[in-house]
Amino acid sequence: MIDKRFADPSAAVRDIGDGATIMVGGFGEAGSPVELIDALIEQGAGDLTVISNNAGSGTTGLAALIKAGRVAKMICSYPRSADSEVFAEQYRAGRIGLELVPQGTLAERIRAAGAGIPAFYTPTAVGTSLAQGKPHGRFDDRECVLEHALGADVALIKAAAADRHGNLVYSKTARNFAPLMATAAETTIAQTSAVVGLGSLDPEAVVTPGIFVDRVVLIDRSPQWLDPSRSETGWL
């Protein structure tokens, strides 16, 4: 019997250790797994490396994790935020490391880790400071830089709905990095606003097959996702 559901965010993040590398889904606040991050703050793990497109907005979620001093290094494309000074303050004080990666290269490196591709060539960033010191190669008369897969110990992501196998669908642009991160972490933890019966998700429209997901945590039941006529008895 496969049942990946965990009782609550605390149970789902309990075993994350100091020094872990953690992927955090979301583009700005869209798709940010806020409740899982809150549980991680409570849990106390520190010295974390966090891979996420941004470095927190406002004062909650990733910004709160950084403010609590738990993040030793950020790997991201856009750590600047109009509404948050948390990362900037720690960065200027030299208390947090930063590996800046072009957004598409960040996405592709995460995908590569999930797909078993250890490295790939890309034209992105050639001739800029972000490609300096990296191996280069020429293909079809175009200079490219070699980029490496980027995996993690844990991925924290947010889905719109899940089933007990861990199949996931997302909501609009909250999808962003989550399907990639799910493939690239040893342990993928998805918070979701609905758990539906097995067979309720259209097999043609599942975005993240359950094989990539280890833990599912229901945060809030959004009635529009529930279809009692299709729910599997006992597994809704």
Partner 1 sequence: MTRTTPQALDRREIARWVARDIPDGAYVNLGIGMPETIAECIAEDKEVILHTENGLLGMGPPPPPGEEDTELINAGKQPVTAAPGASFFHHADSFAMIRGGHLDICVLGALEVAANGDLANWSTGAARAVPAVGGAMDLVSGVKAVYVMTRHCTRAGEPKLVNECRYPLTGRGVVDRVYTDLAVIDITPQGLAVRELAPGVTLAEVAGLTAAPLHDQRSTHRESHPDGNSAPSE
- Residues near a copy of itself (CB under 8 A) are 108, 112, 115-123, 137, 139-140, 142, 144, 148-149, 169-172, 202-205, 207
CB of 107 to a copy of itself, least distance (A): 10
11 or 115, CB closer to a copy of itself? 115
- What does the CA dihedral 130, 183, 26, 86 come to, rounded to 10 degrees? -60
137 binds, among partner 1, a copy of itself, none (CB under 5 to 8 A by kind): a copy of itself
Which helix (H) or strand (E) segment is 103 a member of?
helix 103-115
- The single residue listed with the structure tokens 């872990």 is 20
CB of 48 to partner 1, least distance (A): 19
Q: Are 97 and 74 in contact (CB under 8 A)?
A: yes
Instruction: From 221, 236, 208, 217, select the one nearest 12 (Cα to Cα).
Output: 217
71 or 201, CB closer to partner 1? 201
Total H helices, total E strands in the chain = 6, 13
Cα 230 off chain centre by = 30
177 binds, among partner 1, a copy of itself, none (CB under 5 to 8 A by kind): partner 1
63 or 160, CB closer to a copy of itself? 160
The encoded tokens of residue 100 equal 């800046």
80 or 142, CB closer to a copy of itself? 142
121 binds, among a copy of itself, partner 1, none (CB under 5 to 8 A by kind): a copy of itself
